[in-house]
């Protein structure tokens, strides 16, 4: 699981980074909002940990910018802003959770685990998606009624994004923006081809077309 950490307090940044790495997470540390934004557009992250009062671009505006561009990454704010109005703005900007400083690292771990459960984020291993369908993140094999099929790298990326967003309809643009560096983005036609391949593997009714919006995984 790859985490972006935005925290301009050097000591706290280091403490959180070391703690997360001990838990087995890959962490990219940033110290100002613009640096964090550029890193998000250049990499694929499973979780964002954002301070709010940081140089160049505050955490609220950063997340609003991402949401405006259909980039949906689970996000926890870690901030000294304590008022109910601050929390309201944080959740309105699209955050999944909000931690007030100071906090115990064990609380951060609990909050991350809860988001992993709610957003179905899994960095490795086999997950059972339904009675008939399971998926192995490590080997990229999907099993449907005991029939195993290996997914290509791109098919796996698309399928894993569908898994993370089972409860919502997603567009081709959203799949592109959330999975590829801009200079490597496949064309919309190519992504549709991969979705067509996934339908052949899963069964055509398990990925439905939502007219005017995109696609939805039904498991």
Q: Which neighbouring-strand residues pair with 143?
A: 134, 148
Give the HSE-up count for residue 155: Cα atoms under 13 Å, Cβ half-sphere.
19
Residue 16 has what pLDDT?
A: 97
As a dihedral over the C-alpha atoms of residue 185, residue 191, residue 197, residue 198, rounded to 10 degrees, the angle is 90
What pLDDT digit, counting tens, does each position of 57-91 carry? 999 999 999 988 888 889 999 999 989 999 999 99
Residue 123 has what pLDDT?
A: 53
105 membership: H or E segment, kind and range: helix 105-119
Residue 70 has what pLDDT?
A: 81
Asked if 207 contacts 215 with a C-beta cutoff of 8 angstroms, the reply is yes
Q: How many residues does the chain have?
A: 219
What pLDDT digit, counting tens, does each position of 3-55 carry? 999 999 999 999 999 999 999 899 999 999 999 999 998 887 889 999 999 99
Per CATH, domain 126-217 is 1.10.3080.10:
no
Residue 61 has what pLDDT?
A: 95
* Pairing of the two strands 126-128 and 26-30: unpaired
CATH class of 2-119: alpha beta
22 membership: H or E segment, kind and range: helix 10-22
Domain boundary assignment for the chain = 2-119, 126-217
Q: Which residues of 30-55 are buried (b: 16+ CB within 10 A; e: fewer)?
A: bbbbebbbeebeeeebbbbbbbbebe
Residue 65 has what pLDDT?
A: 93
Q: Is the pTM of this model over 0.85?
A: no
Which 3 state secondary structure label does DSSP give 89? Answer: helix
């Amino acid at each position: 699981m790859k985490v972006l950490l935005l925290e301009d307090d050097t000591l706290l940044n280091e403490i959180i980074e070391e703690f997360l790495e001990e838990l087995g997470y890959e962490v990219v540390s940033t110290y100002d909002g613009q640096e964090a934004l550029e890193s998000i557009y250049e990499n694929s992250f499973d979780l964002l940990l954002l301070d709010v009062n940081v140089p160049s671009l505050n955490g609220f505006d950063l997340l609003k910018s991402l949401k405006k561009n259909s980039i949906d990454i689970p996000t926890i704010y870690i901030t000294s802003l304590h008022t109910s109005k601050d929390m309201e703005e944080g959740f309105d900007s699209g955050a999944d959770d909000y931690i007030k400083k100071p906090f115990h690292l064990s609380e951060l771990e609990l909050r991350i685990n809860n988001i992993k459960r709610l957003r179905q984020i899994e960095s490795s291993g086999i997950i059972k998606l339904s009675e008939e369908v399971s998926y192995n993140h490590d080997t990229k094999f999907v099993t449907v009624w005991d029939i195993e099929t290996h997914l290509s790298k791109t098919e796996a990326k698309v399928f894993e994004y569908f898994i993370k967003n089972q409860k919502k309809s997603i567009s081709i643009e959203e799949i592109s923006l959330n999975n590829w560096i801009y200079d490597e983005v496949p064309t919309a036609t190519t992504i549709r081809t991969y979705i067509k391949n996934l339908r052949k593997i899963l069964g055509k009714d398990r990925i439905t077309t939502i007219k005017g919006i995109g696609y939805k995984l039904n498991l």
